[in-house]
Structure 1
Amino acid sequence: MTADAPTILATSGGIVPGTRIRWELGPLTEYAIELAGVDGRRPKVCFLATALGDDATTINQFYAAAQQRGLDPSHLRTFGMPNVDDVTAHLLEQDVVWVWGGSVAGLLAMWHLHGFDDAMRTAWQAGVVLTGVSAGSICWHVGGTTDSFGPELRPITNGLGLVPFSNGVHYDSEEQRRPLFQSLIADGTLPAGYATDDGVGLLYRGTEFVEAVSEKDDKGAYFVERDTSGAGNTAIETRIDPRRL
């Protein structure tokens, strides 16, 4: 079973603190599974921690959370070699692909090196739901803001571009995010795009934005576009009130 259209849920969240394990699936990730329309069997969820260098602890934490939730879990690794022979075939067998945060620049470099980028596009077109947090949100877009290069945030502009927008994550919790995202859109470095406070996700069907959803109260999403009405390079930010999951 796959979604009835190419589907992305790009988030600044998706997990909650666990009771007996480190973390559990949050409402955003549960919503991504719901979007896949799985019925009568365990949902197949493939996890990627490429942005953390395929950190073994994080992957093990995913398997603990997946076991508790009753998923049919798998993971894809790039370091020190891919752990499956045919990445595209593996992704096409999944209901949901879940991408973790970390270095989006490193993630994109490794995906391109191993052909994961093309495999992701094929899976997306086939209706496999793509979701992720932070780097796992920016990657589906044209680009965004990143700390991949150091504590001073910089633009990233070589995202997969499955949707034709830029993406701002952690919009309310990291003080550099909002002003840089706006300035990069204002000067044309990034196209218009959507940003999320922590706990908020963006749902796309095909290449169209559908809605913002939230697993926390009093959070927002935002559409930021270049203001072409004046002489200067400025941006216009419009708040989108998310639907509470």
Structure 2
Amino acid sequence: MPAEQPTILATSGGFKVGLRTNLEFHKLVHHAVELSGSTRPRLCHLGTANGDQRSFNADLDEAGRLAGWEVSHLNLFTMPPTTDIPGFLLEHDVVWVGGGSVANLLAVWDVHDVGKAMRAAWEAGVVLGGVSAGSICFHVGGATDSFGPELRVVTNGLALLPYGNGVHYDSEAQRRPAIHAAVESGVLPLTYCTDDGTGLLYRGTDLVEAVSERRSGGAYVVRRDESSGTAQEETLDIRRL
């Protein structure tokens, strides 16, 4: 069952430690499934940003069984499981992109035309979601440690959403100043940011609301003030899931 309109849930969360398993799906992933409207959810996970680690895939398979969902994986290492990646994504209700190196993710996706497949799925009503690199990738770009401990900014995201994106805003000290500098210099456009456990819900290209699976943490928008030439940050309203 497709979502009513193109939907993206871009987050800095989604997983938690399980009681008897390594991982469970946290409230943000459950929210993505709810947004799809499916009663028999099919979730496709892309672990490109961490090199398609099969052990992590196994943890997510177990989390899927606990949630009562069908979980599959679009592994691009060492080769895709299909010659029809757009068709593969369209078989699912939710596509969830994991964290890791967003620079490597975008490079590998470019080789396999995953960006076009993502756009087709998004336009068809498949709910797109993800954490960290899996959040930045849907935007124009954002700050990343893909290249080393000193953050750099990537601007070759899929740009389904015409904004910058900042993740892990409250847990990594370099994130906020890196985003402010990129917005101030014009490297990034207006940029939406999330603390850990927080997600941004977009319908089409409009931000509808910020949500959180935690009792604390927030979401923010950073824009360039043209009169002063400086970056200005505002706190967004947030709904606790």
TM-score, structure 2 length as denominator?
A: 0.99
Which residue of structure 2 aligns with residue 88 of structure 1? 86
SS at match of 1:117: helix
1:162 corresponds, among 156, 160, 163, to 160
Instruction: Check the 8 A contact 2:223/2:232 in 1, yes or no.
Output: yes
Separation in structure 1 between the aligned mates of residue 195 and residue 237 of structure 2, nearest angstrom: 11
Query: Greater shift after overlay, 176-185 or 65-74?
Result: 65-74
Task: Give the count of matched residue pairs.
Answer: 241
Separation in structure 1 between the aligned mates of residue 83 and residue 75 of structure 2, nearest angstrom: 11
Separation in structure 2 between the aligned mates of residue 4 and residue 112 of structure 1, nearest angstrom: 28
Separation in structure 2 between the aligned mates of residue 218 and residue 59 of structure 1, nearest angstrom: 29
C-alpha RMSD of matched pairs (Å): 0.7
Compute the displacement of 1:205 (Å). Answer: 0.3
- Superposed CA deviations along residues 33-89 of structure 1, whole A, max 9, x for unmatched, are 0000013xx200000100001111111111111111111111101111111221100
Separation in structure 2 between the aligned mates of residue 73 and residue 133 of structure 1, nearest angstrom: 17
Compute the displacement of 1:93 (Å). Answer: 1.1
Instruction: Check the 8 A contact 2:209/2:237 in 1, yes or no.
Output: no
Separation in structure 2 between the aligned mates of residue 124 and residue 216 of structure 1, nearest angstrom: 27
Amino acid at match of 1:53: G
Give 4+ residue runs of structure 1 displaced > 3 Å after superposition.
Answer: none
- Superposed CA deviations along residues 4-60 of structure 1, whole A, max 9, x for unmatched, are 000000000011110111110100000000000013xx2000001000011111111
* Unaligned 5+ runs, structure 2: none
Separation in structure 1 between the aligned mates of residue 86 and residue 57 of structure 2, nearest angstrom: 20
Separation in structure 2 between the aligned mates of residue 50 and residue 170 of structure 1, nearest angstrom: 19
Separation in structure 1 between the aligned mates of residue 217 and residue 9 of structure 2, nearest angstrom: 17
**Superposed counterparts of 1:48-87, under 5 Å:** 48-87=46-85
Amino acid at match of 2:167: V
Separation in structure 2 between the aligned mates of residue 16 and residue 52 of structure 1, nearest angstrom: 18
Compute the displacement of 1:227 (Å). Answer: 1.1
Separation in structure 2 between the aligned mates of residue 98 and residue 218 of structure 1, nearest angstrom: 23
Amino acid at match of 2:46: L
TM-score, structure 1 length as denominator?
A: 0.97
